[in-house]
Chains A and B, each alone.
Chain A
């Protein structure tokens, strides 16, 4: 079993490279890395999970340009149930455009039915608490803007914190087994139930996570904290 990490040389902010590492450690998968100059391996190889994490604003455009020739291949993979996870601002790269502070519309890959805004003088920081079915998901957001558009139910349903933007409940995007969320950082480590869900989708039977007890202890503590209505949610 292989997990492909796309563009780790620029998509590596906020500890996010630990997401594929943690999943790989939990199921014995092989990690394969694909740089900006390479053709993604999921096109020619059996890849259980494709992962891409947060990048800089300049990095978003580099990812867009590097990935454009392979977008249709990702759509095909998604149509047949291939598992993909995008975290942080990668969701914007697959949207229609990003509008910057000066009103310039930077075209993106145009797959997801969203557009985003970017205000470099306004960093939006928040905690996040949401649901995916019966599963509770906790996380962090730290971004320069939000996304807008009809994403249906999204990936998560917001309980506290902003959804895709502060005015909506759906957070992220889900197309079959492709999942994209604005949540940042070691999302799979912070959310062991979500990590197990991903592993199950990848074909791992009855998955057990690395240091699952310790991960669950930290998760339960965090869920309790984030569920406390007295706790502030924005920074």
Chain B
């Protein structure tokens, strides 16, 4: 048990803080008994009783925060797993939420009744919009920003708006670990110390954008013309403004010689070059792995030690789960609803896999359907065009927005005779053909209702796949 780095409350604040700590701590066993794990409630109580609770609650010796539109959960999990493998006691919020009250819940759980930290390091995933309510109080030593893209339009509007939340929210000594291949997020909080990671040119890179979603069509400084040296996807790549000279920063941690076939990548930094095993063949996850390696390097770890830590790592299964049934692969692929980037990346990844495939498209946000009606604008920022691929032999649209998906697929160039539209998710599974040698993908959303539905449908799909295999 260490000594807290947090400032000590004085006077009446001391009394108020400890009341908040103790009362909120008491709510934890109560919630457990009533099976309400993972809730923000204890943190909400703490912040209600003491609005600056996050400022005074015990801080581990080091705090790492991870934010960004996509990849923050995967990166947080990787960092956490690596640090735990290295023998650290790591506080994290992977079971709770990533807004300020969720972080308060994790922090208070990590503090003793005398406000001493139980852990030596914290890895906290932080929602971008909570930045101003978290960073000034939590005071992270290191902050990772994975990238900034357009996300849920209702909440996040556009990346420039989200960047404005991040700008100015960090204490001046928080060191930022930024994606140099993203000209939006790499410019966050220019006054803060920073290092950059990025992946050097890959064989699959292009120059012109082939995606519908492109959040940076002109220079973010002067609206001038951006010239790309190479572009990975969307606005990710290395670019320079032809008008004002603004350009992508140099890499401090460069991923290079990415070899998907042999599942390896070299990471080059000031101390030399080291080869790593790839945890996944998706470019998005290669970024996630490189980011985690950069964090370890910033914590002072040497490459051989980091290499060893990556050996046993896995990308969390809830986002990608494959199982072979007879001669068919049944694959759960998270394709975050209301997020055109996540779904575009999932479509690109799925269609890049060899062989014939059937897709069950069920990324409906079922929680939205309870309260109002899902806003479908994002479908038209998303690259459904990837699915107009001859190896995608059959697509089934299902759920409340099935008809919207159907129309979008037709507009994307998917032939109508390859598409079925079935409102009920369980009935939709009956349409699957399970052609021998093919893969069946269930593309599902991330809200709790959709997750439950997806895994229930998966059970039926698995049963049907087994029946098909036995025939």
Could you tell me which A residues sit within 8 Å of B by CB distance?
A: 8-10, 12-18, 22, 25, 36, 56-58, 62, 120, 123, 125, 127, 140, 142, 144, 184-186, 189-190, 210-211, 214-215, 217-218, 221-222, 225-226, 231-235
Q: Is the CB of B407 within 8 A of A218?
A: yes
Q: Is the CB of B217 within 8 A of A222?
A: no
Set of chain A residues within 8 Å of B379, measured between Cβ atoms? 15, 186
A18-B411, A186-B377, A218-B403 are known contacts; what are 5 more A-B pairs with Cβ within 8 Å? A13-B158, A14-B377, A184-B153, A211-B407, A234-B372
Q: Is the CB of A232 within 8 A of B411?
A: no
Which of A13, A123, A226 contacts B155, CB < 8 Å?
Answer: A123
How far apart sit A211 and B406, CA to CA, in the bound complex (Å)?
10
Set of chain B residues within 8 Å of A211, measured between Cβ atoms? 407, 410-411
Q: Is the CB of A62 within 8 A of B223?
A: yes
Set of chain A residues within 8 Å of B212, measured between Cβ atoms? 15, 17
- Would you list the 10 A-B pairs with minimal beta carbon distance, nearest first? A15-B380, A185-B377, A9-B217, A218-B403, A232-B372, A18-B380, A14-B377, A125-B154, A214-B407, A211-B410
A227 to chain B, nearest CB (A): 11
How far apart sit A144 and B158, CA to CA, in the bound complex (Å)?
12
Q: Is the CB of A144 within 8 A of B157?
A: yes
Q: Is the CB of A185 within 8 A of B371?
A: no
B375 within 8 A of A: yes
Set of chain B residues within 8 Å of A185, measured between Cβ atoms? 375-377, 380
Set of chain B residues within 8 Å of A218, measured between Cβ atoms? 403-404, 406-407
Interchain residue pairs with CB less than 8 A apart (30): A9-B218, A9-B223, A12-B217, A14-B377, A14-B381, A15-B212, A16-B380, A22-B411, A25-B411, A36-B223, A120-B161, A123-B157, A140-B377, A142-B154, A142-B377, A185-B377, A186-B376, A186-B379, A189-B380, A189-B407, A189-B411, A210-B411, A211-B411, A214-B407, A214-B410, A218-B407, A226-B373, A231-B373, A233-B372, A235-B371
Q: Is the CB of A13 within 8 A of B150?
A: yes
- 1/0 contact string of B13-51 vs chain A (CB within 8 Å): 000000000000000000000000000000000000000
- 1/0 contact string of B313-343 vs chain A (CB within 8 Å): 0000000000000000000000000001000
Q: Is the CB of A125 within 8 A of B407?
A: no
Q: Is the CB of A140 within 8 A of B375?
A: yes
How far apart sit A58 and B406, CA to CA, in the bound complex (Å)?
35
How far apart sit A58 and B160, CA to CA, in the bound complex (Å)?
9
Q: Is the CB of B403 within 8 A of A217?
A: yes
B368, B404, B410: most-surrounded residue (chain A CB, <10 A): B404
B246 within 8 A of A: no
How far apart sit A189 and B381, CA to CA, in the bound complex (Å)?
13
Q: Is the CB of B218 within 8 A of A214?
A: no
- Using A36-B223, A123-B154, A235-B371 as known contacts, say yes or no to A215 and B160 having CB atoms under 8 A apart: no
B230 within 8 A of A: no
A-B interface pairs (CB < 8 A), number: 105
Which of A10, A15, A25, A186 contacts B217, CB < 8 Å?
Answer: A10
Q: By DSSP majority rule, is chain B's interface helix, strand, loop, or mixed?
A: helix
How far apart sit A17 and B378, CA to CA, in the bound complex (Å)?
12
- 1/0 contact string of B374-416 vs chain A (CB within 8 Å): 0111111100000000000000000000011011001100000
Set of chain A residues within 8 Å of B164, measured between Cβ atoms? 120
How far apart sit A56 and B373, CA to CA, in the bound complex (Å)?
25
A9, A17, A57, A233: most-surrounded residue (chain B CB, <10 A): A9
A15, A211, A225: most-surrounded residue (chain B CB, <10 A): A15
B214 to chain A, nearest CB (A): 8
Residue in chain A with minimal CB distance to B379: A15
How far apart sit A215 and B375, CA to CA, in the bound complex (Å)?
16
Set of chain A residues within 8 Å of B218, measured between Cβ atoms? 9-10, 36
Q: Is the CB of B411 within 8 A of A56?
A: no
How far apart sit A233 and B164, CA to CA, in the bound complex (Å)?
28
Residue in chain A with minimal CB distance to B404: A218
How far apart sit A11 and B122, CA to CA, in the bound complex (Å)?
41
B370 to chain A, nearest CB (A): 8
A172 to chain B, nearest CB (A): 17
A117 to chain B, nearest CB (A): 16
Set of chain B residues within 8 Å of A56, measured between Cβ atoms? 157-158, 160-161
Set of chain B residues within 8 Å of A22, measured between Cβ atoms? 411
How far apart sit A39 and B88, CA to CA, in the bound complex (Å)?
61
A136 to chain B, nearest CB (A): 15
How far apart sit A214 and B378, CA to CA, in the bound complex (Å)?
18
B231 to chain A, nearest CB (A): 16
Set of chain A residues within 8 Å of B372, measured between Cβ atoms? 127, 231-235
Residues facing A in B214-252 (CB within 8 A) are: 214, 217-218, 223
A83 to chain B, nearest CB (A): 22
Set of chain A residues within 8 Å of B403, measured between Cβ atoms? 214, 217-218, 221
How far apart sit A13 and B434, CA to CA, in the bound complex (Å)?
38
Which of B150, B155, B157, B376 contacts A190, CB < 8 Å?
Answer: B376
Residue in chain B with minimal CB distance to A54: B158
Q: Is the CB of B373 within 8 A of A222?
A: yes
Set of chain A residues within 8 Å of B411, measured between Cβ atoms? 18, 22, 25, 189, 210-211
B125 to chain A, nearest CB (A): 22
Set of chain B residues within 8 Å of A58, measured between Cβ atoms? 160
How far apart sit A189 and B160, CA to CA, in the bound complex (Å)?
27
How far apart sit A30 and B217, CA to CA, in the bound complex (Å)?
22
B183 to chain A, nearest CB (A): 14
A12, A62, A120: most-surrounded residue (chain B CB, <10 A): A12
B157, B160, B161: most-surrounded residue (chain A CB, <10 A): B157
Q: Is the CB of A13 within 8 A of B404?
A: no
B368, B378, B379, B380: most-surrounded residue (chain A CB, <10 A): B380
- Using A58-B160, A127-B372, A142-B157 as known contacts, say yes or no to A10 and B407 having CB atoms under 8 A apart: no
How far apart sit A62 and B377, CA to CA, in the bound complex (Å)?
24
B415 to chain A, nearest CB (A): 12
Residues facing A in B190-219 (CB within 8 A) are: 212, 214, 217-218
Set of chain A residues within 8 Å of B340, measured between Cβ atoms? 15
Set of chain B residues within 8 Å of A127, measured between Cβ atoms? 372-373
